[in-house]
């Protein structure tokens, strides 16, 4: 079986992070790519594990030098996937990029074999409930994220797979099935 690059996207609050953590804990043949960002670390986040935290100047220098598979600006901060990390990790394991729609589509342009998976909510109401339930953003930040939902969901037709996160176990099972099928190709 081959190692693959998978980009998992979906609106804020849809449960991407939870699904990716569950997949990683259940599998030894998969790793999550660590992205670079210019945003400040959230409580409990560690440099090099959750993100590589960079200054805006360092990020832009690396972007100009072509060091990112993809990068974009969101909510006032830059996020990018370091090519070197992905290449090195793919030698040993499949790699998951947990990134937004723009990043996933850009990654596919640079790495055409990248498998795109969109995680969608069972309903818009459930997504709003989950987003507010995280208690990690201000109301203004929540409104900004909610305003982006329609755009993100409108791009799902560009993805290889769409997984509804209606129940954690069934969504995780679908993700594992996709991973196994793609690794066998």
> Would you list which residues are annotated within the binding site for ATP?
10-17
**H/E stretch holding 57:** helix 56-64
Question: How far apart, in whole angstroms, are the C-alpha atoms of residue 11 and residue 100?
Answer: 8
**H/E stretch holding 35:** strand 35-37
User: Which amino acids are annotated as binding site, given as ranges?
Assistant: 10-17
Please say whether the beta carbons of 1 and 183 come within 8 A.
yes
Q: List strands edge to edge, sheet with 77-82.
A: 51-53, 35-37, 77-82, 68-74
Question: How far apart, in whole angstroms, are the C-alpha atoms of residue 58 and residue 165?
Answer: 36
Length of the chain: 185
């Amino acid at each position: 079986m081959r190692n693959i690059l998978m980009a998992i996207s979906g609106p804020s609050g849809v449960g991407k992070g939870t699904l990716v953590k569950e997949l990683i804990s259940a599998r030894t043949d998969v790793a999550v790519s660590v992205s670079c960002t210019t945003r400040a670390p959230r409580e409990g986040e560690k440099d090099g594990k959750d993100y590589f935290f960079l200054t805006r100047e360092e990020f832009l220098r690396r972007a100009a030098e072509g060091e990112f598979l993809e990068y974009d600006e969101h909510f006032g901060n830059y996020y990018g996937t370091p090519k070197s990390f992905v290449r090195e990790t793919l030698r040993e394991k499949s790699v998951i990029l947990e990134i937004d729609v723009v990043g996933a589509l850009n990654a596919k342009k640079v790495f055409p074999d990248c498998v795109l998976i969109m995680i969608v909510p069972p309903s818009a109401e459930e997504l709003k409930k989950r987003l507010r339930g995280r208690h990690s953003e201000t109301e203004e930040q929540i409104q900004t994220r909610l305003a982006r939902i329609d755009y993100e969901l409108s791009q799902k037709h560009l993805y290889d797979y769409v997984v509804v996160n209606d129940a954690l176990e069934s969504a995780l099972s679908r993700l594992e099935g996709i991973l196994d099928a793609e690794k066998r190709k």
